[in-house]
């Protein structure tokens, strides 16, 4: 008898299994493919490995002369980039496997089928368990007309390419689309983005999209916003795409088409047969329980916030509740990070979603930051949103170098309802990019010193 059987070894599943193992529970983790799930094998990790290569290439291409570095005959080796990516993915996967073994989690490489709330079949083996954690993840959406045309890429397919395309059209200007546009454009490959909403990165504020869009256009990316691909035909050279734009209908040719319009929860028929409540994804309470009390669900399969770090913490919450520690998931301070160039990170409320009469908002420009000048960076800002009466921090957005790391100050502030004055009185090191956040906080409290 297992204390828990976890189905799916992605970020939510393996974290739940490890946390249970650390607490002495008998756990089986069933995974039909590779440990680490989408994030480790076809998402977060390989994308960032490739972007690390192109970021360095861009830095040398664009800044070397200003910084006194002779970078003549600069070129890249895509095969070596992929070698770096594969090495990082393998190391990450092996690290997870080591932790599973360390904490006595039984890893079963098989497809799982839930036969009842207390029995899970893994291949030819029937596992009896007190609890089940469903962490089967998601898969890329492929909508019409793209699902009818052979050869169209999803984000999973990009990492299988043996050579770079001569040109690429990306359908969807969200996080995934913008990150891939950043990668390909850095290597001088013609990129077109088609975004249905009024601006790219539609979940972020307009000022964020404007800076990222300006950077992409500077690298040759064509961006069509409030637009959609209405027809797609294969040609000898790739694809002919008909795009309906604000100005009218146009045609574009591209060797490859990448569709990045989101992901769908991976809900299997055995789960549906159990009578588990489904609303877009598997519905749970804040303890990660489904309507069947001993069956939990975490991560993308819930169809809510599809981020690896959210899945991980949902796995922790599920494990704690299985162990008898009543714990609730708190989504009030979930950071969003985008590895574009410049980077984008946000947490809490956005300017577009608040009542201006109830908040104070201040943006401090990257161009006024001393450390930014030393690394030849100008485009970006730190924006802080605080409650007008209490001065508590409600949201933060950062655009610029290392934004994805610096946002943690905002996460702590929003999560713990910190006051802007408390943060302003916290000495920030100089010269650092974090002083950009201090400048925005000073603007909330009184006036920024360096502006």
Catalytic sites, residue numbers: 430
In our burial notation (b when 16+ CB lie closer than 10 A, e otherwise), range 190-200 reads bbbbbbbeebb
H or E stretch covering 272: helix 269-273
Residues 6 or more apart in contact with residue 168 via CB below 8 angstroms: 180, 184, 189, 190, 191, 192, 254, 255, 256, 257, 258
Query: Is residue 426 within 8 Å of residue 435, measured between CB atoms?
Result: no
Tokens describing residue 349: 């409320």
- The overall longest dimension of the chain from CA atoms, in Å, is 68
First-last CA distance in the chain: 65
- C-alpha dist (Å) from residue 289 to 156, 269, 270, 277, 315: 30, 19, 17, 11, 11
Residues 6 or more apart in contact with residue 20 via CB below 8 angstroms: 3, 4, 6, 27, 105, 319, 322, 323
DSSP state at residue 353: G
* Closest listed residue to residue 136, CA positions, set 307, 302, 18: 302
Tell me how far apart the alpha carbons of residues 235 and 332 are, in angstroms, rounded to a whole number: 48
* Closest listed residue to residue 5, CA positions, set 136, 134, 123: 134
Query: Is residue 416 within 8 Å of residue 361, measured between CB atoms?
Result: no
């Amino acid at each position: 008898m297992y204390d828990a059987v976890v189905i799916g070894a992605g970020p939510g599943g393996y974290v739940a299994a490890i946390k249970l193992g650390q607490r002495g529970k008998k756990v089986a983790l069933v995974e039909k493919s590779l440990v680490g799930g989408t994030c480790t094998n076809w998402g977060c990790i390989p994308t960032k490995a490739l972007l690390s290569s192109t970021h360095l290439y861009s830095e040398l291409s664009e800044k070397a002369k200003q910084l006194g570095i002779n970078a003549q005959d600069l070129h890249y080796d895509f095969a070596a980039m992929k070698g770096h990516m594969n090495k990082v993915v393998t190391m990450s996967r092996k690290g997870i496997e080591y932790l599973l073994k360390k904490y006595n989690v039984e890893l079963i490489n098989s497809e799982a089928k839930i036969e009842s709330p207390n029995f899970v079949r893994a291949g030819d083996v029937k596992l009896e368990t007190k609890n089940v954690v469903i962490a089967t993840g998601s898969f890329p959406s492929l909508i019409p007309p793209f699902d009818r045309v052979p050869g169209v890429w999803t984000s999973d397919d990009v990492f299988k390419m043996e050579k770079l395309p001569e040109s690429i059209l990306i359908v969807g200007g969200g996080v995934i689309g913008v990150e891939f546009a950043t990668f390909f454009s850095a290597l001088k490959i013609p990129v077109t983005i088609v975004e249905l909403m009024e601006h790219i990165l539609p979940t972020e504020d307009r000022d964020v999209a404007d800076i990222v869009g300006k950077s992409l256009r500077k690298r040759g990316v064509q961006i069509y916003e409030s637009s959609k691909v209405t027809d797609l035909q294969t040609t000898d050279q790739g694809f002919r795409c008909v795009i309906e734009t604000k100005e009218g209908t146009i045609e574009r040719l591209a060797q490859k088409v990448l569709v990045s319009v989101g992901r769908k929860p991976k809900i299997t028929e055995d789960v549906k047969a159990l009578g588990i409540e489904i609303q877009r994804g598997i519905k749970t309470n804040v303890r990660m329980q489904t309507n069947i009390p001993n069956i939990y669900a975490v991560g993308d399969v819930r169809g809510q916030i599809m981020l690896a770090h959210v899945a991980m913490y949902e796995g922790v919450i599920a494990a704690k509740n299985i162990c008898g520690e009543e714990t609730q998931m708190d989504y009030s301070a979930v950071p969003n990070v985008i590895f574009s160039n410049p980077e984008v990170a946000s947490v809490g409320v956005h300017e577009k979603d608040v009542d201006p009469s109830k908040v104070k908002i201040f943006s401090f420009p990257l161009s006024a930051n001393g450390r930014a000048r030393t690394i030849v960076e100008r485009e970006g800002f730190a924006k802080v949103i605080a409650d007008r009466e209490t001065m508590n921090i409600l949201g933060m957005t950062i655009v610029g170098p290392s934004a994805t790391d610096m946002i943690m100050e905002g996460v702590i502030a929003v999560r713990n309802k910190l006051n802007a004055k408390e943060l302003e009185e916290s000495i920030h090191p100089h010269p650092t990019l974090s002083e950009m956040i201090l400048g925005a906080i000073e603007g909330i409290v009184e006036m920024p010193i360096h502006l």
